[in-house]
Amino acid sequence: MLESIQETAEKIRKLEIQGARNVAIAAIKTIEVLAKHTQAKNKADFLKELSKAKKTLFVTRETEPLMRNAIRWIMNRVDKNNSKKVKDIARTVSSSANQFLNNLERSREEIATIGANRIRNGSVIFTHCHSSTVTYMLQKAKQQGKIFEVICTETRPIFQGRKTAKEMLDLDLKTTMIVDSAARHFMNQADIVLVGSDAITSEGNVINKIGTSLIALAAHEARTPFYVVSELLKFDPATIHGDYEKIEERDSSEVWKDPPKKLIIRNPAFDVTRRDYIHGIICEEGIISPHSTMEVVRRKYPWVFE
């Protein structure tokens, strides 16, 4: 049944599945399938299968702490199960997978509710790239009858800002698109900046789509509040141990299809936004100071550190 794991891993690697939530959900589901159909004869064999699955999924992409935390959670539950029966363990996989998905869903609702409270009537929201958590939260605010408009960057090189723009127009919001470079030019017209997050480090910094840190800097210069909207489980425990959050570097053809010879194209997918530029992280525990993230995660999800 490990083929299904490998297939999913492949899809993640090739970006056929993308977005931190989608990736985490796919990984969980494929492990669940593995557990359901395992033919392992004893606990030891089953644990080996699980461990292999974990490794396979962990290496797919560098900046996927949510997916890794999902798998950590399942493995943690499995470790705590003393039964020697494969079936029991498999059931634990299944139930813990469900718990994770439910928690993810609940977090998303809570974040949307909390964030929507922050939207003021008549305000102008600036956003960058596409984040399903941000757009879900804006949808909630709209449903509450709030009136606001959105400025989105196009988000080179692969124009995820267009996806955001379409979703905003579908919500019937006044929507403006600009090139990434125009962020400072329009910053004084924005009332609040909202972005998602790919990873949060132990220092309280946020890794997100390339360009986020530049927008944060411009927001800081203009005294425009800058918020990160994110599940706490984007926290990456590897950073505690001094590992740099690796910045994935993607194919140069995304930037220029037929570049001149010898031209070096650098295409990092993310950058690091310093905690000092972030007013707050809107997460399932409320709006918190990024400086305290690690302690909040320790309190809420202690198993991440085990």
Residues 153-172 that bind a copy of itself (CB under 8 A): 153-157, 162, 165-166, 169
Q: Which 206-245 residues touch a copy of itself, going by CB under 8 A?
A: 209-211, 213-214, 217-218, 221-224, 239-244
- Determine the Cα–Cα distance for residues 284 and 235; give it in Å rounded to an integer: 13
Count of positions on this chain that bind a copy of itself (CB under 8 A): 84
Find the binder of a copy of itself among 103, 203, 246, 248 (CB under 8 A): 203
Structural tokens at position 55: 């490794």
Q: Does 271 bind a copy of itself (CB under 8 A)?
A: yes
- In the list 60, 175, 197, 230, the residue contacting a copy of itself (rule: CB under 8 A) is 175
Residue type, 60: T
Check residue 178 for interaction with a copy of itself (CB under 8 A).
Answer: yes
Amino acid identity, position 53: A
Q: Is 283 tagged catalytic?
A: no
Query: Binding of a copy of itself at residue 101 (CB under 8 A)?
Result: no
The beta strand positions in 12-135, using DSSP E, are 123-127
Catalytic residue (choose from 152, 198, 236, 283) = 198
Does residue 303 touch a copy of itself according to CB under 8 A? no
Token pair in block for residue 304 = 């991440």
Note the residue count of the chain. Answer: 306
Rounded to the nearest whole angstrom, what is the least distance from the CB of residue 195 to a copy of itself in the complex?
12
Instruction: List Cα–Cα distances, 118 to 107, 123, 191, 192, in angstroms.
Output: 17, 10, 11, 9
* 183 counts as binding a copy of itself under rule CB under 8 A: yes
Q: Is 113 in the site for a copy of itself (CB under 8 A)?
A: yes
Nearer to a copy of itself by Cβ, of 120 and 142: the residue is 120
- What element of type H or E holds 267? none
Q: Which residues pair with 175 in a beta bridge?
A: 150
Tell whether residue 145 is a contact of a copy of itself (CB under 8 A).
no
Q: Report the alpha-carbon distance of residue 204 to residue 64 in Å, rounded.
A: 17
268: contact with a copy of itself by CB under 8 A: yes
Residue 264 touches a copy of itself, criterion: CB under 8 A: yes
Q: CA 225 to CA 246: how far, in whole Å? A: 27
Measured over the CA atoms of residue 235, residue 165, residue 254 and residue 192, the dihedral's sign is negative
- Binding residue for a copy of itself, selected from 28, 74, 114, 297, defined by CB under 8 A: 114
Residue 187 contacts a copy of itself per CB under 8 A: yes
Please, which residue, 102 or 181, has the CB nearer to a copy of itself? 181
- Rounded CA-CA distance 107/231 in Å is 7
Please say if 152 is a catalytic residue. Answer: no
Amino acid type, 30: T
- Which residues are identified as catalytic? 129, 198
